[in-house]
Structure formats: structure tokens, C-alpha cells
Chain A
Amino acid sequence: MIDLPDQRAPDAAPDLPAPLGRVVATERRPNTPHEFHFWTALDANIGIGTIVRVDGSVAVNGRVPRIFGVVMEGQSWTDMLSPLDDVMGRDGDPGGGHQFTQRTEIRLYTASVLRHMPDEPLQPVPMGTVWLADDTDVALALRMDGYLAADKRTAIPVGLYRSGGTESPVYLDADFLLGPEAAHLNITGVSGLATKTSAVEWLLQSIFAHFPADKGSVAAVCFNVKGPDLLYLDQPATLAPEDRAMYDTLGVPAEPFKDVQFYAPYDAALRGLATIRSNEALQHNVQPLTWGLREVLQYASVLLDREDIDAKSDALIDFITDRVVNQKFSDPMLGGEQTVQTFADLDHWFRTLLDGLERKDAQSWRTHHVATIRKVRNRLVNLATRCAGLVTDGADVSDLPFGSFADRSVHVLDVANLEEDAQGLIFARVVSKLREHLERRDLGVNHVIVFVDELNKYAPSDGPETYVRRMLLDIAERGRYLGLVLFSAQQFRSQVHKRVVGNAGTALYGRMDGDELATPGYAVLSPAVRTKLSTLDKGQLMVRHPHFTQPVFVRFPRPSVLSGRLGVERFPAAPIEEFDAAMLRRLRRFDSTLTLDWLRTIIALADEPDVIRAVRATEREQPRDAKQYFGSQFRRQVAPRELGAPQARVQPLALPVGDDPYGF
């Protein structure tokens, strides 16, 4: 083989990078202001998603144009006229006719323009040399220079752009991610690759690390709707060196979230919280989520069937909410003054009212017909049963710390084990409360990120109108003005309400299903980009952001928190226990010296509901002396004690006479 000399220009400096390709245009395949074509060497390190720079050669208005583009399509062909030529060349034998010469082959790429510099006049991309983009080029191409400047930096790292040996950080603009310019993020991807949850965990860490101090404080509320995905955010993961390197490059600490609180309602049997995170070692930041009548009644419409509750029922519910609950209420029909604070109180109030109506043989009370009263009683009192564990009969309430949210805190609500009604109620009330507090500026933080997975279920594009979907639409359309930001995820973006995903300023795409990619929403992507989307690895995302005129592919590191699967392995859920053992486990969070014998002694004469009520009271108050506090809940009970030896001899009334046992 003949040695060939270096074909680079003789005056080219040896340490400068070689050009990647050359722009070409033909009449049938012209370049435009938004698209251009270029060819490269066969071994060029380039692919779909690679960012390139074109240096023009002719100055316009005194400036040589520089154009940035991202590769969206690639083609290759040879000078073969017909496939038959290869058949002939190989004598019809696919394995024969060894060819010592390879046909001339072209690699022709089509790139979409990311940016023209200067912006005006906007002209078709000129012929020129194509270069692989370096760090500076990537920042300019994606218009990140505007928010990377030191004096007005609002950059949030989303991942690393990698191509041809280049590894450049890609940033989102916090003003367009958390408001006020744009807000919300939506992520799509097939299930099972852990991409969606991992990406959100990573992005939350990145936001917490980089959200500018002058923009205020930020917290996150995450709804864990399935499995254990979000239940170990406070536990560290074992990271590979390459992941740690990515954390270093992107300036995000590779550590778990520092301030995380987990919330879960009780299970239906009220023996423990309905969460997989029930391992004793992890109970320090797990709190019950329980609401009473006052908390629930305001959102009762979430649980009540709109077709079942007519205007008359609505009127009675409103009356009860406004006039009865949490205030002294008296009425001749009730026979005296009553204060309704719990579901038990409400049930008693209804019973008294209905008894009064029966006694007087009346058919209505304050214009409400007795049938309506019976119906509303049935529906409302039934709420406590339908959402047992979340809704309590009593007055004990355990809730999120509305008003005292800490900066960079995460609040995970585990609703995975709840019925759809209860999930809806939790979502509606929590989001409403967040909104109320943000409007009043007294939540404790300026921005709250609400993460909801499974939007296909909660905000479908079709199906009946639900309270949850209305809430999601409300956040998506108006939340950014308040600092209420929705991070949402789903498997099929095409099946989510258009206004929810359409209002997401930033969209992330993991590996996509082929059927999903065939839907009209993806028609704007080139076939090559769609192919890439269907084969993305774990940790790869396609990002769309208001500053990026074209989608960009990035890699992000594995989250530095324990995954749900590993979390369950390392911290197995507590086994289903006997009632007293379950109660003891809950109390031992406050005093690890408590023993089962002690508890059994205390609750020996108590009913289960009383014990649960006492445990809840202890959990709510979190007293310094839990042992004493819990015991005080049973003070009115007579404590059992062991019988000692009889103190006095018992004398029979009379002694038998003789051998007659019946004689006295």
C-alpha cells in the first residue's frame, strides 16, 4: 500500500482541530435560512444530534456569518447506479467477488439551524467549512450565553451534550423553568427504564444546587403514585466514577436530598402508614397524613359524584360547611347547641336532626327536604369510610407544614397504595393549599415544584372531566405567576391533555415507544431523530427548551439517591404486625426504650380505636416524654394490677352441723 502524505493544507497548524465537513447545496437540495447540508469523511465522529458550526467565507455587512446547527438527518450512498450492479459485480454470489476497492461513498448530513450570528440579515446558510462545536459554540448555539453571564446567571444544568469528544454542559434558564417567563416541565418516556423518575430526581438536585439566591427559595412536593420510586430520596446511592465526574462537571453535589419529609395516610386497618417506607430505620422523617372533617369538607366535591350530588344536595353541603362546622350551632330541631368538629360529631348532628324531624313528622328543615338530608348524611359520613386512613373520625390532623416550608426541602406524599378517590382528595387539597399560601406569600418558600407522574391517568386528553385534571390545568396555565410549577411525567404524551403539556415550557423525552412516535405530535421531528428517540439509552434525554430552537440530546448522571428497587431491598418494609406490635413501632419513633410488655399493660383494657386515637395524639404532639404522654391518654381507665394474697379471712355465714352438709 502506498503511503499518502498528510492532505491537510500545508499552512494548517498541527494542534488545531481538523474541519468536520463542508457545506454543499444543489438546486434540488438547496440550503435555506433554517436548514443546510454538509458532507463529512466516512470516519467523522458525528451523528444525529451533533452540534456543528459553519464558518462562512463572504462577509455580509462587514461580518463573516457564523451559523450553528444540529444534525437532524443523515444519508449515505455510493456511486452505484442500481442494486443490480452489485449483483453483477459479485457474480450473483452475496459472499463472493471480494472487492479490494470500496466504492466512493458519501455521508451527507442535514442540519437544522440553531442560530445565525449575526441574526440579521437572515440569509440562507452559505457554503463553508463545518466544524464540530466546542464548549463555547454549544453555549452560543443554544443561546445559553444570555443566562450564563456571571452577573445575571440563571442557568440550571440539565445534562451533558456529548459528541465527537466534546462534552459540554447544557443549561436550562431558571426564568423559563420555574417562572416567571415560562415554567413547567414535562417528561415523556417508556416505563421500565427509570428515566422519567431519575431525570426528575436529578433535575431537582440540580435546581436546588443552582437556583439563584436572588430568585428566592424553592421547595418540591412530589406525589409518589406508584411503587417505591420516590421513597428513598434521603438515602445515598452508589455512583459509578463516570457519574461522579458528570456531577463534578455540572457542579451538582453527588449526595441525597438533605431535607426530605415523607407523608402517607394510615392503612385501612389503621395499624400503620400505607407506605412501603415502613422500615424502622427510616421512620424519623415519615409522618402520617390524616385529615379531619374541616380539612375534607372543603374538598368534598372531589369525592362526591357530580351526577349524584344535585343542586339541592350542594346547597345543604354548603350550609353545613358555612354554618355548622367548627362553630356553635343551635336549632330547635336539634334540641340544643352543638359543635361539629369531627365526622363523629357530624354523624351525631345528622342523627339528632333526623330524629327531630321524625318526632315532628316534618318533611323538611330549613327548606332542605328530609330525603336530601338523608342522602347528604349518607354521602358525607361515608367519606370517612371510603378514605379510611386518610380521613379520621376524630379531630386529630397531621398535615404538610403549610406556612413553614423550608428552602430546598422535599415533601413526598406516598399515595401509591390509596384508592383513586383518596388520591384525588390529597392532590386537590395539597395543591389548593399550596396555591392559597403562595397567593398570600406565606408558604415559607417562593417557588414550589409539584411533581406528578402518570399524567396519562390524571390528565388524560379524553375521558370525563375530573377535579384533578382541572387542578392540573389550572397549575399549568396560571401556576407560573404564583411560583407554582408543575413537573409532570407520563408514558404517552399524545394521550395527555394538550393544555397541560402545551404549557410546559421545557419538555424532556426519554426512550419513546414506536407507536407513540407515529402520532402527529412528533411529525415535526425528522425520521432520524425519531429513530434516535426510540433507541435512547438510560440516562439520555432529548430536551426542548424555549431558548433552544431545535431539540438537543443530553446525558444526565444517575441520581445520587437510592433507587426505589434498591431501597426496598436495603430497607425492607416492616412485616404486617399484631395490633399492639404495630402501635409500639409507631411509638418507638419517639422513645426507643418502650417495650411491648409496657404497651400491653397500658392498653389492656382499652379498645383498638381508643389506642389508635392515643397513638395519633402522641404522633401529633410529639412530646418529649412519649411514654408519659401516651399513658396519660388512658388515665380514666383503671390500670390492671395483679391480685395479691387475701388480706382478710372470709368466714362462712354458718358452720354445718354434724355430717349433714345441708344442716346449718
Chain B
Amino acid sequence: MSTTVVPALRAVDAARSALRAALGNRVRAAGPDRTEALAQDSTQLNAHPAVTMLGGALRVLAVPAPRVPYFEGFLDGIQRSTTVAYLDGVPLLHGTAAAAIRVRDAEGRMRTWQRPLVDHSVYASRQLLGDAMWSQVETILAARGHRLRDSDDSLPVTSRHPSSLLRQGLDLLSGVRSDLERQVGDDWCTAHGERPLYVDGSLRGSRAMLKSTGIAGIVKSHATLYVPDESLAMVLTLGAGQRTSLIAVLGEEQRPRYLTWYLRLRSAVGRDPFFGLVRVETGPCEGDTAATEMQADRVSTGLLAERSPIARPDARWDVMPYAIRDCEVYLRATA
């Protein structure tokens, strides 16, 4: 195998060198190659249609250097699944979903805020099992503290293919996890109001969190782009410690539903353009644009403050703060 790979790599290097010689710094090394992983990823890639650039056009802004921590809590959730059995060819999927907030104590060590929310359920298609069997299975599982959830609630049955049915169950499990995360986040809002909370993922599902200016949702994946094509290069070439200006994501009646911006946490020189790039979501701030930008700076500075310690060995360490990894480790150890 190596006899075929090595010449290919040499050819890639040769091409890159030639391009760089001709075009200079506009050509950047791609770093660890994600091409093969992308080829196997079925996530839909698209652009968000309903956005508007605050201030007219997208700009690149330098984020002030962090001096003090900003975020007080870190919210994350996990899900874990395994196929329990096949009943008359219908898969029974066991899923665990959990969510928790970890906060820093006076020494900077992570502790759990309140108790984590954990859900253990079995997911199956009620339509395919039939009501009688469903009731029987539900009774058996209830005796062992498990809830039976109907995966048809997620997606209607389109195929009896077991993999399709499992995907159905996984979709519902993902929804359960999101619900738990939202519930924990809402509890934080109730208990602590505007106090800064780092939410791993989008805030879109929680009205309460979107209302709180202290809460920021950090999105690590970029399947959906929130900038028009002509501004994309600006995002992909952000330097470390730089962010874009604010982007309003519009909801009904073209009113801003929440704000978002891109932030480069770590230098991507020699790496993939998405390396160290996150997208931040916050609720729409009341007041003028300048005040909103200031709040975005505070959040961005707070995110830069979380770059160290790094979250290795997690593969997403370039965009994941250590506190979120800590939260995941905690949930995996306890849920």
C-alpha cells in the first residue's frame, strides 16, 4: 500500500509548493487532512438563508486579550446508545442522555452545579411492534426503571430497514439530550439570571437562554454557514484572537432571533481553515450596535480565556474548552 500512497503524497507536496511559489501566502497548508472524514460524513452542508450583517458588511475585529475569566458555568450534554435486541426484526435501542453544568470553584477546579439530569430509555417503533407487544415491552422495562420511547415521534417510518429504524431512534435520543440540556440551561437562568454560562452548542432551542445576555452558545461544527459566499473567505482567514462583526439570524417577520459571530480561538496557519474556528450565539441584545459589539467582545474575550488548558486528548481540542471536556468526562463517568 505504501508504494501507492507515498508517490501521491509527494505529488500533493509538489503541487502545494508550486502554488505557494506562484501565489504566496494566499496558499496555506491544509494541515491534518479531513477530506476522507468529510466524505463519510452524511451531514447536510448548507448556508443559512436568513441572516443580516449588523453594521452593513462583515468586518474583522480584534478581540481584547483576556485578563479575567468570564464564564462561570459550562453546560454540556452527552448521549450514549446501544442496541439491546431485535424483536421480530425491530431494533430496540437503549439510549442514555445526560446534561450538566460544571462551575469553577475558588481554586479553579470544576464542580457540578446542582445534580445532572439523566435519562435512560429504550427507543423502538411502536407502529412496527404493535400496541400489544409495545405494552408488554413497556411493562417489562418499567419494572427495571427504563422508559420506552416511540421513535416514530422523531421520524415517521419510511423503511423497515433496521439501520433506518436505528437512525430513527438515534434522532429521538438526540432530541432527548437537547431537551435535557435546555432544561438545565433554563434552570441556570432561573437560578442565576444573567450570569455567564457557556453552552456547548446552539441556543436555538431555549427561549430562556436566548433572553439572557450572559449566556453564549458555542457551535463547533460548521455544516451551516452564516455568511454569504462573498464573505466566507474573511471568515476562513480569521487570525487567532480575531472575530467577525455581528450577524443577526432572522426569525419570523424578519426580526433578529439571535446574534452570531465567528471567532478564531487558535492560529490556523498550516492547518485546516476551520481549525480553532467557532461560531458564537447569543440572544439579541437590547440597545445600540456598539453596546452589542462590546458584549460580543466580552464573550469572545471570555472564550479566549478558556483556550488553556487545552482539551486534549479530545479530537476537537482546538475548539473545545477544557471545562466542556471536563463536563463530558464527568457525565460519561456518572450517567
Contacts and interface: CB of A to CB of B under 8 A. Distances in A.
A1 B308 contact: no
A42 B113 CA distance: 19
A2 interface: yes
A80 B325 CA distance: 12
Interface stretch (B29-37, B49-57, B309-317): B309-317
Interface in A47-99: 79-82, 85-86, 88-91, 97-99
Contact of A90 (B73, B107, B308): B308
B108 interface: yes
Contacts of A88: 310, 312
Contacts, number: 69
B329 A104 contact: yes
A592 interface: no
B195 A89 contact: no
B312 A81 contact: yes
B329 A101 contact: no
A71 to B, nearest CB: 23
B105 A1 contact: yes
Contacts of A367: none
A26 interface: no
A645 interface: no
A100 interface: yes
A36 to B, nearest CB: 21
A86 B310 CA distance: 7
A101 B307 CA distance: 10
Interface string B53-82: 000000000000000110011000000000
Interface residues of B, number: 29
A103 B321 CA distance: 11
B329 A79 contact: yes
B82 to A, nearest CB: 22
A647 interface: no
Interface residues of A, number: 24
A651 interface: no
B142 to A, nearest CB: 27
Contact of A100 (B104, B192, B313, B326): B104
A102 interface: yes
A90 B308 CA distance: 7
Contact of A86 (B307, B309, B323): B309
A102 B109 contact: yes
A398 to B, nearest CB: 70
A655 interface: no
B157 interface: no
Contact of B323 (A42, A80, A101): A101
Interface centre among B195, B306, B310 (most CB of A within 10 A): B310
B108 A4 contact: no
Nearest to B309: A89
Interface in B279-335: 305-310, 312-313, 321-323, 326, 329
A1 B106 contact: yes
B88 to A, nearest CB: 39
Contact of B103 (A4, A80, A86, A103): A4
B90 interface: no
Contacts of A86: 309
B103 A101 contact: no
B239 to A, nearest CB: 14
A104 B326 contact: yes
B307 A100 contact: no
Given A2-B195, A4-B111, A99 B103 contact: no
A80 B105 CA distance: 20
Nearest to A100: B69
Contacts of A90: 308
Contacts of B306: 100-101
Contact of A4 (B107, B113, B307, B313): B113
A2 B110 contact: no
Given A1-B72, A2-B192, A4-B105, A99 B309 contact: yes
Interface in B78-130: 103-111, 113
Interface string A92-130: 000001111111110000000000000000000000000
Closest 10 pairs (CB-CB, A-B): A89-B308, A100-B69, A97-B308, A102-B108, A2-B103, A89-B310, A81-B313, A89-B309, A102-B109, A85-B312
Interface of B: 68-69, 72-73, 103-111, 113, 192, 195, 305-310, 312-313, 321-323, 326, 329
Given A7-B111, A88-B312, A101-B322, 10 more contacts: A2-B103, A4-B113, A79-B329, A81-B313, A85-B309, A89-B307, A91-B308, A97-B308, A101-B104, A101-B110
